[in-house]
Amino acid sequence: MPRTARLDVLGVLQHVMARGIDGYAIFQDERDRKAFLERLAGVVEWARADLLAWCLMSNHFHLLVRPREVLLAPMMRRLMTGYAVWHNRRHGRRGHVFQNRYKSIVVEEEPYFLELVRYIHLNPVRAGLVASMEALDEYPYTGHAVLLRSRELACQNVDEVLRMFGRRMGEARKGYRAFVEAGFSQGRREELRGGGLVRSAGGWKNLLRRKREEREPGDERILGGGEFVRELLERAGAPVRRSERDVLHVLEEVCREHGIGRELVLGRTRRRGVVRAREAFFLRAHEEAGESFASLGRLCGMSHTAVRAAIRRARQKREAGTPPPPGRSGAGGNAE
């Protein structure tokens, strides 16, 4: 299946991530980080975009940005290509600096805006680089310190974030800091780490609780509810996935055909019958519902390469004409 084109729409919030190739440290010292931030400031000013949150780690970065006059693609091209050329020249190296393309997730603002601001700014905490709120307040490589006036970055839109916590700046900063502190120990939140129907529902367990009539269209490139997905895809001129062929519908069919419960199919059990059902689910979810290797891997706690291998095996069995196992009522739990 060809790689899905990004959704690039003006005026819509986007969570952008990019990593160094093969885990390469794209920021090796303070000078690298300073050069990247200077280039980022220039790009944001040139594009007249809103930069609302950011974080630089050693081998990757996060941005929460809303393009307004220039699409995200030329912004990122100018930022990443310019930095890569400078970085290679400075460090006397050749070749790629970044791993493939950057990743961008279009975000519905009402439920996710502040949650993503906090989640991005807490990256150093989850990585073990920062051990306390006081240290995070002074940490120079996220937008958190800028919001608290401990650091400066002229291109960051501080006012839009702080306005959500109060009219007066002092009051707003206290409210914002309390909000971040409340999430200090949350750890990784899978529902904020990508797009798609599963993420937007807050995880597959929440999604499985939904009744069929409550199903919504989903898209791996979008973190948001069904109505937001429809409106955005219509604006972008992209097809809206039919909800009756979503990943849940496929999962229900596979479970019914194999007589195996959903938790087993989505788990790590290596029983032969369960593995066969899981491979069938991966294949059909990929071909019929358009789910990516990565999204299916996240759904089952597997790597995208393991999912790809499972789909390859399922295709080989299909081409060889291997019949599926007969349904076994009640085996492995209730499929509903």
Q: Are residues 40 and 177 in the same domain?
A: yes
As a whole number of angstroms, the distance between CA 16 and CA 106 comes to 9
CATH code where residue 104 lies: 3.30.70.1290
pLDDT of residue 244: 42
Nearest to 16 by CA among 48, 45, 70, 52: 52
Q: Are residues 178 and 201 in the same domain?
A: no
Supply the pTM of this predicted model.
0.69
62 domain residue, yes or no: yes
Element (H, E) at 264: helix 262-265
Among 43-47, 293-297, 315-319, 326-330, which stretch is predicted with the lowest mean pLDDT?
Answer: 326-330
- Determine the Cα angle at 40 with ends 34 and 45, to 5°: 130
Nearest to 77 by CA among 23, 105, 28, 39: 39
pLDDT tens-digit map of 2-54: 455 677 889 999 999 999 999 999 999 999 999 999 999 999 999 999 999 99
Parent domain of 224: 197-320
pLDDT tens-digit map of 84-143: 999 999 999 999 999 878 998 899 888 889 999 999 999 999 999 999 999 999 999 999
pLDDT of residue 297: 83
For residue 168, give every residue at least 6 positions away whose Cβ sits within 8 Å of its Cβ, in sequence order, or none.
none
The predicted model gives 55-73 an average pLDDT of: 96
pLDDT tens-digit map of 189-217: 766 666 555 555 555 455 555 444 444 45
Q: Are residues 120 and 234 in the same domain?
A: no
Q: Are residues 170 and 284 in the same domain?
A: no
Q: Are residues 19 and 167 in the same domain?
A: yes
CATH code where residue 264 lies: 1.10.1750
7 domain residue, yes or no: no
pLDDT of residue 136: 96
Q: Are residues 178 and 213 in the same domain?
A: no
Query: Tokens representing 116?
Result: 């993503």
25 domain residue, yes or no: yes
Nearest to 8 by CA among 74, 81, 73, 77: 73
Q: Are residues 33 and 173 in the same domain?
A: yes
Q: Are residues 21 and 158 in the same domain?
A: yes
Residue 333: how many other CB atoms lie within 10 Å: 14
As a whole number of angstroms, the distance between CA 235 and CA 47 comes to 21
pLDDT tens-digit map of 118-134: 999 999 999 999 999 99
- CA trace torsion 205, 267, 298, 313 (10° rounding): -140
pLDDT tens-digit map of 220-278: 778 877 777 778 787 776 655 544 457 777 888 899 899 888 888 888 888 888 999 99
Q: Are residues 171 and 241 in the same domain?
A: no
2 domain residue, yes or no: no
286 has a pLDDT exceeding 70: yes
Q: How many domains does the chain have?
A: 2
